[in-house]
Amino acid sequence: MTSIIFNETKSEHFRLSDQYRNLHGQLSTILPVEINKDEISAESLKSARVFVLGAPREKFNQSELDCLKTYVDNGGSILVMLGDGGENQYATNINFLLEEYGIMINNDCVIRTHYYKYFHPKECHLPNALTNQILIDALPKHSNNKLNRALTLVYPYGATLNVAKPAVPILSSGHLCFPSCRPICALYHKSAGKIAVIGSGHMLSDTYLDKEDNRQFKDIIFTFLCTNIIDISYMDADDIEISDYHMVPDTAQLAENLKVSLNAPQDIPVSYMDLFDFTLTSINTNHFLNAKRSYELLGIKYDLLKLIMPEFETPLPTLQPSVFPPTFRELSVPPLELYDLDEAFSSEAARVAQIANKCGDADLSYFISSAYEVLGMNNMSEKSTKEMLYSIALQIATFKKQGQAPMDIF
């Protein structure tokens, strides 16, 4: 018995290569860690110091259960973990083995009744969950977390246990969870064989192993299974508060089952509606005449009731008529027939060319003044033809000095 063996023949939910990688690395410092992929037999259990069942999802046959029982009776150690829903959820029959040692995993789940630190209701935060000083003192000496106080744990997606002697419960769901004060972890030790049962395999998974004091709780469990340091015979089962397992009745189903009172008459009517007395809440005018006579007795004039118009306080302002802006007549299109479109949209070069086509040798002065106007030069009324030519030549020279090409028309 020199190694810790994780079984993977029953479609276990928790595997070393999947959700127990951190656990694998930590256990490797204690003992070699192996995986069993063969059928459970005396040969496969021969080298196991601890045999771990990480939430099996298949049923064990009779020969496998006999091998596990013989393994425990001969001094072996078994760690059994499951999850919320118990055997019904995981389709296994591990309770058939555990019941012989006083432990049974229930088909329920533990939920926290109010939010604290963890969002999901099944992620139960258990303050001061482990208070037994014998277990806390069993933490490894090299551990930096050896404490003289209670351990605070997170118990995610787990079920409760039923524990009877010779097994001993060491963890309780506490008063802040439901079901309240029920065992969630139990140990069994008789002769040399040991069994540890945890209702939630998620406690040792990669997601929750480093949360709260779950790592120290793992050290306690494997210290119990691998060594003889922890002797639970000195532990009192009354150290933790355990309540009875109360089931909440199905009130909706009970309400459908109508039952008559014990004081009811013997003759039960055919229609069950006759059993109800509606006179206490009925509305009628049976007492109107008696109320009218009370006016005469009191000497009060009888008048018909008058309608009082109710006045309601409206928080919104009174309605106002909606006013729309006036619609103005759109402007008419410009009278394009009054414009010379060729003159408006033609380029300067085209317009100068048109003027040149109209003029002859005798119209030189007219051509120069018209071209001067087309080019947008200064006022020509005060300049002669010679001055206009000078201005145009001066403009062309300025363009050449600036490195720009002259106008296309020249």
What single string gives the DSSP state of each residue in 296-361?
A: HHHT----PPPPPPP----SSPPP----PPP-PPPPPPP-GGGS-HHHHHS-HHHHHHHHHHH--G
Which residue, of 186, 206, 239, is where some domain finishes? Answer: 239
> Do 30 and 173 fall within a single domain?
yes
Split into its structural domains, the chain has a count of: 2
pLDDT tens digits, residue range 210-263? 999 999 999 999 999 998 888 777 665 456 788 888 766 777 777 777 665 655
* Residue 144: predicted pLDDT: 47
Which residue, of 196, 220, 239, is where some domain finishes? Answer: 239
pLDDT tens digits, residue range 312-364? 777 777 777 778 778 888 888 877 777 777 777 778 888 888 888 888 878 88
Rounded distance, CA 361 to CA 374, Å? 20
Which residue, of 208, 239, 270, is where some domain finishes? Answer: 239
> Do 340 and 234 fall within a single domain?
no
* Residue 282: predicted pLDDT: 76
In a domain, residue 246? The reply is no
The DSSP letter of residue 198 is E
* Residue 260: predicted pLDDT: 58
Domain range for 64? 3-239
Percent of the chain with pLDDT over 90: 35
Per-residue b/e over 3-19, b at no fewer than 16 CB within 10 Å?
ebbbbbbbebbbbbeeb
In a domain, residue 283? The reply is no
pTM of the predicted structure, to 2 decimals = 0.60
